[in-house]
Amino acid sequence: MAIPVSILHPGELDTSADKFPESRRIVQIRPLTIGRFQLIMKASRQDAGLIPLLMIKESLVEPTLSLEQVKQLPLGLVNFLIDNIREISGLTGKKNLS
């Protein structure tokens, strides 16, 4: 998946392909399994803020990042990755129980 330049470099006016080639903006993510999701929920029981960070750490195949590295990612990139992880993991729809 290619990450848009606007996510990686917010406010950058020159977004030319020469300056930001797509090959340097590619990441590979995998869907979360129920087992991994349960582990994430258990590990983040005391700190709900860890949920998105652990989701990224567990889903990101390439490049692999440590939790400390994930914590250093810009917020816009975290939101972009979480949206895509939720989509490929089937977590996008909300059930209406009424």
Please report, for residues 57, 67, 84, 98, the alpha-carbon distance to residue 60 in angstroms, rounded to integers and kept in the order given: 6, 11, 11, 36
Distance of CA 80 to the CA centre of its chain: 6
Q: Are 78 and 10 in contact (CB under 8 A)?
A: no
Per-domain residue ranges for the chain? 5-88
Whole-structure pTM value:
0.80
pLDDT at residue 72 is higher than 60: yes
Per-residue confidence (pLDDT) for residue 98, from 0 to 100: 47
Nearest to 30 by CA among 88, 91, 90: 88
pLDDT tens for each residue of 5-63: 888 877 776 666 566 666 778 899 999 999 999 999 999 999 999 999 999 999 999 99
Amino acid at 5: V
